[in-house]
Structure formats: C-alpha cells, structure tokens
Amino acid sequence: MLKNKVLNHLVLKPLSSVWDSAYKIRRSLYEYGILKKTYFKVPIISVGNITFGGTGKTPVIIWLIDQLEKFDLEIDVLTRGYKGKLEHSSGIIKGGQKFLSNPNEYGDEPLLISKKMTRGAVIVGKDRSSNLEKYFQDIEPDIVLLDDGFQHIQLYRSFNIVLFDAILPISSYKTAPLGYLREGLTSLKDADAILISRADQVSDEKLMQLQDFLKKYHPPEIPIGKFTYKPMGVFDGFGEKIMELDDLKGKRVIALTAIASPESFYGMLKGYGAEIIEKVVYPDHHFFSHNDVNEILIKTVREDAIVVTSEKDMVKIRKVTKDERIACVNIEIKFLSGQEELLSKVRNILNLDYN
C-alpha cells in the first residue's frame, strides 16, 4: 500500500498534471480563436464523456434519433467507427437499410446506430470535420449528432451532452494516468447537459454525492438527467423477437460479450432467472471469426444451452451466422428524471414545437 502511494505521488501525479494541463491549453487555444473551429450551417449536438470506458453514448444517440425522427428531420450521425477498416478514412451508411453493411469495414456501433434509423445516414471516420464536409452536400442534414464528441472541439457544436456512469467511484475522478478521466473536470464548463447512466444501480446517497461533486465544475442550471437501461426482449439474428426476458428463467445460457462493461449484462441475465453456465468474454469491439462462433456453437450442444449476447455484438455475429442458438438482448434507455428538461433544450436549438 505504501509503495503504491509513493508511486502515485512521485510518478503518476506529475504525469496526471501534465495531461490535465495539455487538455486545458488545447481548449483555451480554441476558446480564444488561436486554433480555428470548423462551422457548418446546421445544428450539431455532441454526445460524449470525459471518462474512459462505456457510459452509454450509443444508447443515448439512438434515443435522440428516435426523438428527432418524430419531426421528420434528416439526421446525420458522425462517429469514429472504432476498429473498423474505415476508421482512418471515411465511409457512409444510409439509415433504414434492410441489409447491414460489413462491421469489419464500418465498426460495430455505426451499424447498430444505422439499424435504428429510418432515414438519414451514419458517417464513419476519425476526422469527423472533414468527413462531414465531404458528404454534407449529398445528404443536406437538418441536424448532426456527434458521437463521442466532447474532445472533438475543432468542430463547432450547438449543444454538448456529457455522460457519466453512476457506478464509477468518485475516487476515480482524476486525470489519467492517476484516474479514469480523459481530461480534467474544468472542461465541464462547456457542458450544456449532463446525463448519469445506470442511476438505478447505486444508492440515492451515491447519486447525490456525484452530483454535488460535479456541480462545482459545470454551469449552474443545466439539465441533469438520470437514466437506466430497459431490456426490450430477446431477439434472433434477423431482428425478430423470439421471447420475453422472463422466458429466460431456468434456461441454461452461455453469456457471450465483447463490450466494455459486461458485468451489468450478466447481472441482467441473472436477474431474469437465466442460469449462466459460462461467460465467454472478448475485448470490446472484437470482430467475431467463424472459428469463434463455431467453438461457441459446439459448447451449446455439449452443454445443452443457448447463447445470449448483446445487441451490439449481434450486428457482428450475424455477418458470420444467423444460427437460432445465438440470441441477443436489445435494450433502450429509460429516463428516471430530467428527460423533459433535456428535450426542451434540444427543441429550442432546432426551433421545434411538439404542438
């Protein structure tokens, strides 16, 4: 313990200070116009975070798409396409496609997002400003959603939504490598709304502690929303619902995941009574091979079990097989508080009216 404290004090704390300072300087350079931002004649809403790891950005993007499509808007989503072959170039997926594109090319999250859209497009590639400019005239969006965009400050945005995971300990809110922050909490001065995910999985005391901790850094009176994940049922590789979550009770399940935080997934399956006989865990964004899937299917025969995976993983698995022994749980976000306040801000940006 003493050795760790000495290491933190002598090595990690100075590195953390340097990291924090570098991001502060970067934001200041854009704030004072020394570095120029790219502007587009369209509202841009960023959904991002300042922590490493999953906080629910993709489900929030999908929720926003569902809300905005009610107004018959043409929506573009800018996303990196992490680990896809097009991550360092560019590509586009039109919304509402019946047959999904190759996840190895575009990445898993862009395909999941495009699957939920009825129109518009998902633009993939690390250089989101250049890629939006490349496709802007062809698509002519009414609004752009910037996925994981809080640090992508060279692209001007109209509204910044910043996400936090309720489960992350307060003690971890230190800049890397000392903690889990991508950049310092002072960056929250640019936040226009804060959302806290998995808010149902911690005590009210922990939620208040987190909110009190953050309010020292973000502007006063901005919307603070809390949400949880609502399972929608169990689906096959064709996107058809095959059972309710309650039907998992007593079933022997192999839990297959390649996501950032699989423990919540396991907890959900157990909560509905599934008997998890094995957890098959791959790194986040892993692309499944035929060998991966064949080995898992052999286990289903040997163990008399079914495979249950996440919806994000299913978009990759379905390119390899649509075997009926592999199913996925689809989820959506459910607000516990703050939904109307956030929607009111979004409507104001777009001059929209529900009436």
- d(C-alpha 302, C-alpha 335), whole Å: 41
- d(C-alpha 316, C-alpha 339), whole Å: 31
pLDDT less than 70: residues of the chain: 1-11, 98-100, 353-355
Secondary structure (DSSP) of 253-310: EEEEE-SS-HHHHHHHHHHTT-EEEEEEE--TTPPPPHHHHHHHHHHHHHHT-EEEEE
Residue of 71, 47, 45, 50 lying closest to 59 (CA atoms): 47
- d(C-alpha 219, C-alpha 188), whole Å: 8
pLDDT in tens, 288-346: 999 999 999 999 999 999 999 999 999 999 989 999 999 999 999 999 999 999 999 99
- Any idea how long the chain is? 355
Q: How confident is the model at residue 1, as a pLDDT?
A: 53
pLDDT in tens, 24-67: 999 999 999 999 999 999 999 999 999 998 899 999 999 999 99
Q: How confident is the model at residue 175, as a pLDDT?
A: 94
Is the CB of residue 45 less than 8 Å from the CB of residue 143? Answer: yes
211 exposed, middle or buried (CB, 10 Å; 0-12, 13-18, 19+)?
middle
Q: Hey, which bits of the chain come out as E strands?
A: 44-49, 75-79, 91-94, 121-124, 143-147, 159-165, 193-197, 224-235, 241-243, 252-257, 275-281, 306-310, 326-337
* CA triple 124-175-171, angle to 5 deg: 115
Q: How confident is the model at residue 12, as a pLDDT?
A: 82
HSE-up of residue 324 (Cα within 13 Å, Cβ side):
3
Is the CB of residue 306 less than 8 Å from the CB of residue 254? Answer: yes
Secondary structure (DSSP) of 118-140: SSSEEEE-S-HHHHHHHHHHHH-
Q: How confident is the model at residue 2, as a pLDDT?
A: 47
Structure tokens at 321: 């097989």
Residue of 267, 192, 258, 190 lying closest to 228 (CA atoms): 267
> Where do the domains of the chain lie, and which CATH numbers do they carry?
44-229+334-350 (3.40.50.300), 231-332 (3.40.50)
> pTM for the complete prediction?
0.92
Instruction: Quote the DSSP letter at residue 36.
Output: P
Helix pair 108-116, 57-69: axis angle to 10 deg = 20
Beta bridge partner(s), residue 194: 162, 224
* CA triple 229-235-241, angle to 5 deg: 105
